[in-house]
Amino acid sequence: MKRWSWLVIGLTATVLHAQQPTLSPAQSMTEAGMIDIRSLVPDIAENMRYAGSDNFVGTPVDGYGAARCYLLRPAAEALANAERALRREHKRLLLWDCYRPARAVRHFVRWADDLADQRTRAAHYPNLDKRALLGDYIAPVSGHSRGATIDLTVMQCDAEDRHCRPLAMGTDFDFFDPKANTDSPKATPAEHTHRLQLRAAMERAGFRNYPMEWWHYTLSPEPSPNLIFDVPIH
């Protein structure tokens, strides 16, 4: 759902391969080589938006039969490392999306084509005509479908690590607007500092940020840069 074309992968829009991604024949998470992040961090905080209706589509998304975060093992292990390091600073991650089935991306495209459905405009694209979303923000292939990309934020916890709250970032998740750019000048100094704290934590664990979206990170290098998956999440 990002500004990536069929010929562009990576968070800096660098052309790496002049070929279309291949759809994996995997029929299960095991065959795909993916694991649930909770197998590594059982109490990691999750609010998997696409498994419910609190998202820009306004309804549960195709392929999300359960609110679970699956990733290819190298990405899951790197994410677990990021979480453990943050906990030493009384911080924690909050996950919104991980692996995304290809059928979910097709659902996004159908939604973008339905100009009559404007239910989520106020929350997700108040300054844009919906016709501008397809192509600029919603593409026919997503890096999430490759199993090494995560949408997330960071929370600050109290000294006992019992109560944690998300840090102010200036926009919500999936806010289609330049203000969501990681280095947007529209973010306040405090919001920008929080974005940089998240970016630093993720970079230390081996992830790179997509500059258009402060919440979007991909393991670098990707384990399977030319392979997308369509295994539903159960």
Element (H, E) at 123: helix 121-124
Catalytic status, residue 213: yes
Of the candidates 46, 83, 191, 213, the residue annotated as catalytic is: 213
Read off the pLDDT of residues 132-188 as tens digits, 9 standing for 90 and up. Answer: 998 878 989 999 999 999 999 999 999 999 899 999 999 999 999 999 999 999 999
Helix 189-204 to helix 73-87 angle, to the nearest 10 degrees? 130
Read off the pLDDT of residues 91-130 as tens digits, 9 standing for 90 and up. Answer: 999 999 999 999 999 999 999 999 999 999 999 999 999 9
Rg (CA), the chain: 17
Surface-to-core class of residue 19, CB atoms within 10 Å of its CB (0-12 exposed, 13-18 middle, 19+ buried):
exposed
Query: Considering only CA atoms, which of 10, 9, 2 is closest in space to residue 108?
Result: 2
Amino acid at 188: T
Statement: 23-228 belongs to CATH 3.30.1380.10 = yes
What is the reported pLDDT for 6? 30
Cα 12 to Cα 214: distance, rounded to the nearest angstrom: 13
Read off the pLDDT of residues 48-78 as tens digits, 9 standing for 90 and up. Answer: 999 999 999 999 999 999 999 999 999 999 9
Place of tokens 């992830």: 207
Average pLDDT over residues 81-95: 98
Read off the pLDDT of residues 222-233 as tens digits, 9 standing for 90 and up. Answer: 999 999 999 999
58, 87, 96 from 209: Cα distances, Å: 26, 21, 15
The answer to whether residue 196 scores a pLDDT higher than 50 is yes
pTM above 0.85, yes or no: yes
